[in-house]
Amino acid sequence: MSTTDDDDDDGRRRRRRVSAPERASEALRGVSLFAELSDADREALCGRLVEVTYGDGEAIVTRGEVGTRFYVVAVGRVRVVGFDDDDGGDGDGGDDDDEGRDAGTKKTKTLYPGETFGEVALVRRCLRTATVIAAAPVVKLWALDRATFHETLKKTTFERRCEYTDYLNLVPLFRETLDARTRSMLVDALRMATFESGSIVVSPEDAYDEEGSKFYVILRGEAVVRMDDGELTEVNRLQRGDYFGEVSLIHKTSPTATVVAIGEMTTLTLDAESFHRMIGQDTISAMAKKLESYAYASNKVERKPRRRLHRVGSLLALRGAVTSRFRWLSFERKQRSTRKRGSPESLRNNRNCVKSVTPSLIEVNSRQDVTLLKEVGGGMLGAVFLAKTLNTHTVCCVKIMHKWKILHLEQRSNVCRELQLMKTFDSPFLTRAMGSFQDAHTLFLLMEYLPGGDLFQLLVSGPFKGGKFPVDVARFYAAEVLSALEYIHANEHLYRDLKPENVLIDGSGHIKLTDFGFCRRLALSERAYTTCGTADYMAPEVMLAQGYNQSADYWSFGVLLYEMLAGYAPFASVSDGIRHRRIITSDLKFHTPYFDATAKSLISRLCIVDVSKRLGSSARGVLDLKTHDFFTEDWDVVTARRLEPPHVPTRKDAQAPHEGSVTRHRSREFYRSLDRRGERERMDAGARPLTAEASASFYGF
């Protein structure tokens, strides 16, 4: 038994490290949040569970409080008291065992050993939606807090990725022909498999298919390669770092030899579909070139004397393969089909070469230089006003943020990074900064004025019926959003906050992405682990803190496309718990016939949990999306913004009520109101007053 770390509370509550964590493994396996994890990850999380004991009637979770823990019932039972749309203390995994209702709104539910509650608290900061009370003399729970959950998964995922990357680097062909990004993406597709001594791994009797046929890299142990020339003859031995199975995958035939494990052997495997999609044509061509150097007999294997065999890390050492002279026909036909709207090579060179028309930088130094006309929006950090500069009479938007709030929410680095990105990004599909200044208490960010509002407003109150877009309209906006993401990714950044509210429409009807607070630099071979973004658009790997890259933006892109076509997000649910479960399991449903076949295909290939099978994750990157049948546009025309927009907003001059002292007086009232509002919010939040030192930390804004 492990040592206890007791911390008594009135003699009734104890907390200690669980002595036998495997007892909780089955309960965790039944929870959607954990079901998608590997056995190793679940085992690591079980080891971090702590045991908490409660007495009869004690409150474990209180409705309305901020949740930080997930619980598994170990001994006794608990009673969940909530309302019809509540989800067991924000995400229980128990059965809906209603025992009573109060006026048709309040409900109760009893959870027994092995059942769980509170899983949403592991994903993000949220309020509890129900009260959970101990309902037995002694109730023991296994608990896991959010910080521990994220730290554990980050550690195990990072270590596993490093281990797999090291193994791939053992293979000279991969090390020499695959770039860092492709090797990193390949790691996501690899699966570990262990074979007992004497197990037949591949055999000529195995039929080729996309899922069953695999490529193998040996991690531990050895294998013997045998050819059947009337009797099985050993022709080679494979060791750590060697690979095999590529002959079958390249030629799409049955294996040409038998590979048998010697002792216990552990391998990394890659299925045939991922092999062709992710490794890339250059590496496959290098493998094929070596195959072509072998001597062939008519549909027979002409094997060289064994003394001349070289270990090149694969069945290539067999010096032969059963092939057909038509072996490349199907592959070439597939390649030609992808070139129907331009070759991948030409698309690969298309990096949004058209620059944006950079808005003029405005020389403003204080709030007296800017007249506020009206409030047009707001967010977590501040309010956005339509404004006009006094010196140039330029209409713009001003984002006004209180420094205390930025520091209180720990967003200083995000705010400063957003300003820097808005100054450096130069794409016609991204909003640009026109200037910035600050005073002792407030930051002011001047941005382009985009009179068309955002995509969400256009969906809800635009000219299109039913709160959704026709397919051709959705295709237009999707193409321009994808061009914006392509620019961000090509500049080695990750966006992380794609949603309709962040897609603005300019005066000509084209889109511009905004809000780069979560955007961060990320090399194509790296991974991020911070859980951030809007829940409806968050990819499963982001929720589970398993490490993610630009593919997470493609998941959000699929969600955005679905919402444009249906009028609602694909995983929208009555509670946070149900929504998170649907996202983690990719519970994607097309309830309306409004989706055409190509849209369903694209969304289904984007909103897929297995990152390695998601469009954009292959060696071709964004070309996977741009060559999909859903898009019919000429991408040169898209990036040049020469497509005709489906909706052009009517620009209203921002001159209200008129020029003169009345407007300036109203502007001063706006400023005073903002200052009063900010002080009230600070006191309500219990934040400390802003010090001169804290204010100076924004130097350079």
Q: Within this chain, do residues 442 and 459 fall inside the same structural domain, yes or no?
A: no
First to last CA, the chain: 55
pLDDT at 492: 92
Distances (CA, A) of 41 to 138, 266, 479, 580: 30, 19, 38, 19
What does the DSSP 8-state code read for residue 340? Answer: B
DSSP 178-231: S-HHHHHHHHHH-EEEEE-TT-EEE-TTSPP-TTT-EEEEEEEEEEEEEEESSS
What angle do helix axes 146-169 and 180-189 make, rounded to 10 degrees? 120
Residue 292: the pLDDT is 63
Residues linked to residue 372 through DSSP beta bridges, in sequence order: 387
Q: How far apart are CA 477 and CA 479, in angstroms?
A: 5
Q: How far apart are CA 539 and CA 568, in angstroms?
A: 17
Residue 1 maps to a domain: no
Does residue 657 have a cis peptide bond before it, meaning omega lies within 30 degrees of 0? Answer: yes
Residue 238 amino acid letter: L
**332 contacts: CB under 8 Å, gap ≥ 6:** none
- Please give the average pLDDT of every successive group of 10 residues along the chain, which has 701 residues: 39 40 64 79 87 92 89 91 57 40 65 87 83 93 91 89 84 80 84 91 88 88 86 85 87 89 92 83 78 43 36 34 30 35 42 49 82 84 88 87 91 89 92 90 91 90 86 95 96 94 92 91 86 90 89 96 93 84 89 83 94 87 93 92 90 50 81 90 87 86 79
Q: Are 12 and 56 in contact (CB under 8 A)?
A: no
- C-alpha 67/C-alpha 61 separation (Å) is 8
347 lies in some domain = no
How many Å apart are CA 156 and CA 145, to the nearest integer?
Answer: 17
What pLDDT is stored for residue 334 in this prediction? 35
Residues facing residue 589 across a β-bridge: none
For the beta carbon of residue 50, count every other beta carbon within 10 angstroms. Answer: 17
Q: Please tell me the predicted confidence (pLDDT) of residue 53.
A: 94
Which residues span the domain enclosing 211? 170-337
**Three-state secondary-structure class, residue 27:** helix
List for the chain the helix, strand, coil content (%; round to 5): 35, 25, 40
Contacts of 492 (CB under 8 A, 6+ apart): 521, 522, 523, 524
Q: If you write DSSP's letter for every residue of 200-211 in order, what string do you get?
A: EEE-TTSPP-TT
Residue 673 placed within a domain: yes
Amino acid at 262: I
Q: What pLDDT is attached to residue 227?
A: 85
* 436 and 462 together in one domain: no
Q: Catalytic: 497?
A: yes
Nearest by Cα to 477 from 513, 449, 507, 447: 513
Identify whether residues 251 and 210 lie together within a single domain: yes
CA distances from 4 to 147, 244, 369, 384 (A): 21, 49, 64, 53
Let me know how long the chain is: 701
Helix, coil or strand: residue 418: helix
**Residue with structure tokens 């090390």?**
175
Q: DSSP per residue over 650-666, as a string?
A: PP-----S-SSHHHHHH
Strand partners, 511: 505
Q: What is the CATH number of the domain that holds 380?
A: 3.30.200.20
How many domains does the chain fold into?
A: 4
Q: Which residue has the tokens 């429409």?
A: 505
Say if residue 95 is exposed, middle or buried (CB neighbours under 10 Å; 0-12, 13-18, 19+): exposed
Residue 511, domain CATH: 1.10.510.10
**Whether 506 and 591 share a structural domain:** yes
Name the strands in the sheet holding 138-145, side by side, starting at the edge strand that comes first in the sequence. 15-17, 50-55, 138-145, 69-75, 116-117
CA 193 to each of CA 41, 43, 602, 689: distance values in angstroms, whole numbers, following the listed order: 16, 18, 31, 58
CA distance 386 to 372: 6
Same domain (yes/no): 442, 379: yes
- 3-state class of 271 per DSSP? strand
Q: Give the model's pLDDT for residue 608.
A: 94
User: Per the structure block, which two tokens stand in for 435?
Assistant: 């200037």
Residue 659: per-residue pLDDT:
53
Tell me, yes or no, whether 360 lies in a domain: no
Q: Please check whether residues 495 and 628 belong to one and the same domain.
A: yes
C-alpha 615/C-alpha 274 separation (Å) is 11
Residue 575 included in any domain: yes
Phi (first) and psi of residue 195, to 5 degrees: -120, 135
Residues 20 and 46: their CA atoms lie apart, in Å, by 9
Both 330 and 404 in one domain: the answer is no
Same domain, 461 and 563: yes
Query: Which distant-in-sequence residues (6+ apart) come within 8 Å of 680 by Cβ?
Result: none
Looking at the structure, tell me whether residues 439 and 459 fall in a common domain.
Answer: no
In the 8-state DSSP scheme, what is residue 324? -
For residues 373 and 370, give the distance between their C-alpha atoms in angstroms, rounded to a whole number.
Answer: 9
The answer to whether position 303 is within a domain reads yes
Q: Which of 433, 420, 444, 421 is nearest to 358 (CA)?
A: 433
| Same-domain check for residues 386 and 237 | no
CB 92 within 8 A of CB 118: yes
Whether residues 118 and 144 share a domain: the answer is yes
Phi and psi based region of residue 421 (left: phi greater than 0; alpha: psi -120 to 50; beta: remaining) = alpha
Cis peptide bond upstream of 113, omega within 30: no
Structure-block tokens of residue 226: 């045998």
Written as six digits, the tokens of 247 are 């002959």
- Whether 246 maps to a domain, the answer reads yes
Structure tokens at 373: 């006309």
Residue 83: per-residue pLDDT: 61
Q: Are 439 and 462 in a shared domain?
A: no
* Set 41, 90, 497, 515: catalytic member: 497
Q: Which DSSP state fits 690?
A: P
Tally Cβ neighbours within 10 Å of residue 666. Answer: 15
| Domain assignment of residue 242, yes or no | yes
Which CATH number is 30's domain given?
A: 2.60.120.10
